[in-house]
Each structure stands twice: as C-alpha cells, then as structure tokens.
A and B are shown apart, each in its own frame.
Chain A
Amino acid sequence: MNTIVKLACLETKMFFRDRLSLFWTFLFPVVMIWLFGSMFVGDDLSQKAFAEYFVPAWIGVNIVSTSFFTLGTVLTHYRETSVLRRYQSTPLQPWKILAAHTFQGTVIFAVSAMLLMVFGMLLYDLTLPVFLWSTLLSLLISILTFFPFALFLTSLAKTTQAAAAISSLFLNLMLFLSGATFPLEMMPTVLQYAAKILPLYYVVKMLRGTWTQAPITAYGTEVAVLIGIAIVSVALATRFFRWSGK
C-alpha cells in the first residue's frame, strides 16, 4: 500500500512539473468553455442553460483526455523508455503500478473537474448538481470505464508518438460525435447512430442528466453499457499488459 501511495504521489508531482500537460489538462477545457460561451450564450440560450449543457459534457471530455494522455500515453512512454522494465526486476507487481496510475489519474481529473465547475459557477451561474451523489457515482463509473479502456488501446502502440496519435484520434472522434461539443440533433442520422458506439456518448448523457434532471437510476442503460465496456477493458488491459516494447 505504501508503495502505491508513494508512486501515485510521485507521479502526481511529476505531472505538475510538466507545464504542457498542465495547460492541456487544466487550462484548455476552461478556455474552450469560455469560447463556446461567447459563441452560444445569447437570446436563445441563457447562461445557466449553456453551462448546464456544456460543463458536465466537458467534465466528461476531461475523463477521456486524462485517461488517454495522462495515463495511457505516459505509460506507453514509460514502456518505450524502459521505465517499466526497470520495475520488472523489483518485487513491485504490475497491478500496483496500474493502481498507482489510476489513483494519480483520478486526482488529476478531480482537480480539472473542480476547476471547470467553479469556472461555470463564477461566470455562468452554474449550480451544484441537483443529484450530487448520482453525479459522483456517474463519474466513478466513467473513470472505471475509461481508464482501462485507454490503457488497453494505448498499450497497442509501440512508441509514444503512436500512442499520442491513437489518443488524439479517439479524443477528437469523441469530442465531436458524443454530443459534448455539438448537439447531436444537428447531425445526420448516420452520425447520430455512430455516436452511440462511442463510450463518451453515454458518459455525457449520464452526467448532463444527473446534473439537472434525474438520479442515476433513470440511466440504467447508460450505466449497463459503461460497466460492460469497463469489464471488457479491464480484462483486455490486464491480459495484454507488457513490461517492455520488445
């Protein structure tokens, strides 16, 4: 346990030493919300309605970027630069490494989500989620889905660049097709169906819903789909865990 906490703390510290990842994780989403706000808020859309639509969605997007970039790409980088291989010759077990990184990812995601929410509250009259516990539970389920999902997908890449490419592809795909940035109703029917293949669609739906409309019990389908993806991803991520790129 001691080791997991120590490793998680160190990884968090090192994350904060990297200015670039600080920008993308913490500042970029806030800037995006602000940009969208200045575009969409007006006669048709009140500030509050805007924030209730976009802030939960971007919190969902942050789960995706944290899992793909802060976790997946970094671990691929560690694999490529023999950091993981160095661990292989110590008594440290692989699950402890994954646990530490999951813990670190959760902490970083929590900070970014808080930032977005506070930003929404200050600028756009956003309120706390109506069904707070439901929202928190939704976040937990989403994390448990996305972390192993991203870890598995990025572990297919041999190099950091390839992992970053995979990550960018999935992030962008989900950004535009999950309803997080553009309302799905605007899109052709084909794309609306395509959106439902992507896990972020369910996350966004669940987060928006529990923020204003109904507790998590109303989102049984979404929860079931995500838990299904989570189970498959955990199985794949542990089955295909590799210490080194060779």
Chain B
Amino acid sequence: MESVIQVEKLSKNFGDIQAVKHLSFTVRKGEIFGIIGPNGAGKTTTLEILEGISEPTEGTVKVLGLVPHKQRRELNKRIGVQFQAASIQKKMKVKEALDLFSSFYHSATPKDELIQWLGLSEKLNAKFDDLSGGWKQRVTLALAALHKPDILFLDEPSMGLDPSARREMWSLIRRFRDHGSTVVVTTHYMEEAEQLCDRVAMIYDGQLKALNSPRTLLSEHAVDCLAFISDGLGPEHVSALPGVKRVEQIHGEFKVFCDDRQTTAYQLFRYCREHGISLSNFRFEKCSLEDVFIRYLEKEKTR
C-alpha cells in the first residue's frame, strides 16, 4: 500500500533530555493513524517534526516525499494542522477566519460545503472567543481542512470535549478520511484511539511500544477478565483458584485475569456457594485498549 509518511530511526533531543528515541513507522495513504501515549510521551514532539516545525536530531523523515523541516513551505500547501488547544484571534468572527485562511491557499476551496459539513453556518457571525470548546475545535478543524489537504494533523482534537461532542468530532474526522485525506491524530484517550483509528502507534517515554490496528492489539494482548464485587472474598482466595493468573482489586471490585474465563468463573461460583459468600455485579469484561496500554506501562515500571 502507498505510504505518505516514512519515519526512520527518528530521535529528538532537548538539551540532555531525549524526547523521542529511535522511532520508526510509516503512515499509509488514506488511513487514520493514531499516536497514543500518556502526557509527555513525545506525541506532540513527533507531530511537530512531521509538520516541519521542529528539526529532528537524528534519523530521516519524509512526508509526501518532502523533508519537512527543509521544505516546510511546500509541505504547508499540502497539509492541514490543528494544534493542541489552538487559537485564533479572540475577536475574529468565524466567517472572517474561514475567509482569511482560504486566502492562504491557491486551490479553490469549497468553503460552503465545509461549512455545511461542520454545521458552522449558525456560528458564522460569532466571535471565536464567544464559542464553546466544542465549537472552537470545529472551527480550528475547519481551518485545518479547508484546502482539502493530503494529510491532516490533529493534536488532541477532542481534548476538553464532552462525550457527545467527542463522538461528533470522530464522525467528522472519519468523513475527512472518506474524502481522501490521510489523518494523523494524537490522543491520550484510549477510547478515542480504539474507536477512531485504523492503526495505532503506542508511544511511551519517546519509544514506540506497539503498532497495529486496535483490534489486533487487543487480540494479541488478550487480557479479558472477570469482574465482580464481593465483601466476603479476599484476594488470596481468588488467587488460589485454578487457572487464575492475576488478581486486581480496585475500590472493592475484583478483576481476575485468567486463561479460560468460563472454567474460572465456574470454580469461583462453586467456591462462593460452598462458603456461603455473596457475589454481585459479576460480568465477563472485555479488555479495552486502555488496559493493554496500562499493562505496557506496568511492564515498563517493573523492568
């Protein structure tokens, strides 16, 4: 498949601190590529290098066949960028901003179509500062996308949005992909990565920890578990059950990781019945990307 971004052995140092270490990955044309990791993992730094704002210390980066920090002007014509908590002038009206930004690009832009897509028509006369967080994000997304860029870079696009606004944001982003843009998005919301991205790169401490589609990542690290609440049961009892690999207890809720959930569940119920212990809220829990990620982080710490 055709790739639009190639990153090889990328490193970036800020003084003594190595923010990004030997990162290598490629982004395919037409996918939504997620870069996920905790705050300070190097996501924004990586993005800034791809956008040409920041210069790599080592390694090679090619975006649309260009070297970003050397050919930024050429690159800027073909990419769209939404910065983290990005801002435009507070007193600028939405329609003025759209008008101004479309004057930066030569290609004729179907502005009306975009306004309709993003549902901006009712806010055209509002000043940027008077908009709510969700609308601000929509406007900055519109400004990033109005020239139909080949690649759309979005840095934490749903930060600070409520759940419904977040879902709307996702469907808008998917729409841009469906219309031919490649999307590179950073997030620290695992749910976002799981729902939105075609492929996900997990970055921790400046290093690439895993790269695959969310579904593959989940099945590769099958950590499905049993979850339940019980007062009479101690973790030592649960660990003693056959087939149990690990037990977590958070706020009175048990999470039991095991090889075969059905067998362990049977053993658990039998044990509780024999000892007259009550169980509540029992369920087979599906593991989320968040669990996979947390497991990675824990592996790091114990190393």
Q: Which of B253-294 contact A (CB under 8 A)?
A: none
- Does A91 lie within 8 Å of B96, measured CB to CB? no
Residues of A within 8 A of B104 (CB): 3, 90-92
Shortest CB-to-CB span from B202 to chain A, Å, is 25
**CB-nearest residue of chain A to B127:** A17
CA distance A81 to B136 in the complex (A): 14
Q: Which of A155-177 contact B (CB under 8 A)?
A: none
Shortest CB-to-CB span from B296 to chain A, Å, is 29
Q: Does A89 contact B (CB under 8 A)?
A: yes
Q: A3-B103, A89-B51 are in contact. List 14 more A-B contacts (CB 8 A).
A: A3-B100, A11-B89, A14-B91, A82-B87, A85-B53, A86-B83, A86-B86, A89-B80, A89-B81, A90-B104, A90-B105, A91-B73, A91-B104, A92-B104
CA distance A224 to B79 in the complex (A): 46
Summarize A's interface: helix, strand, loop or mixed. helix
Q: Does B76 contact A (CB under 8 A)?
A: yes
Tally chain A residues at the interface, Cβ within 8 Å: 23
**Residues of B near any A CB (own CB < 8 A):** 51, 53, 73, 76-77, 79-81, 83, 85-92, 96, 99-101, 103-105, 127, 140, 143
Q: A85-B83, A89-B53, A90-B76 are in contact. Are A10 and B88 (CB under 8 A)?
A: no
Q: A2-B103, A10-B96, A92-B104 are in contact. Are A86 and B76 (CB under 8 A)?
A: no
Residues of B within 8 A of A196 (CB): none
CA distance A93 to B77 in the complex (A): 12
- Does B100 lie within 8 Å of A7, measured CB to CB? yes
Q: Which of A3-38 contact B (CB under 8 A)?
A: 3, 6-7, 10-11, 13-14, 17-18
Pick 30 A–B contacts, CB within 8 A, sort by A.
Answer: A2-B103, A6-B100, A7-B100, A10-B89, A10-B92, A11-B89, A14-B91, A14-B92, A17-B91, A81-B87, A81-B90, A82-B85, A83-B88, A85-B83, A86-B83, A86-B87, A86-B88, A86-B140, A88-B53, A89-B51, A89-B80, A89-B83, A90-B76, A90-B101, A90-B104, A90-B105, A91-B76, A92-B104, A93-B73, A243-B53
* CB-CB nearest 5 A-B residue pairs: A89-B81, A14-B91, A90-B104, A17-B91, A81-B87
- Give the number of A-B contacts (CB < 8 Å): 60
**Residues of A near any B CB (own CB < 8 A):** 2-3, 6-7, 10-11, 13-14, 17-18, 78, 81-83, 85-86, 88-93, 243
Shortest CB-to-CB span from A75 to chain B, Å, is 11
**CB-nearest residue of chain B to A74:** B89
CA distance A4 to B92 in the complex (A): 16
- Does A18 lie within 8 Å of B91, measured CB to CB? yes
- Does B73 lie within 8 Å of A83, measured CB to CB? no
- Does A89 lie within 8 Å of B89, measured CB to CB? no
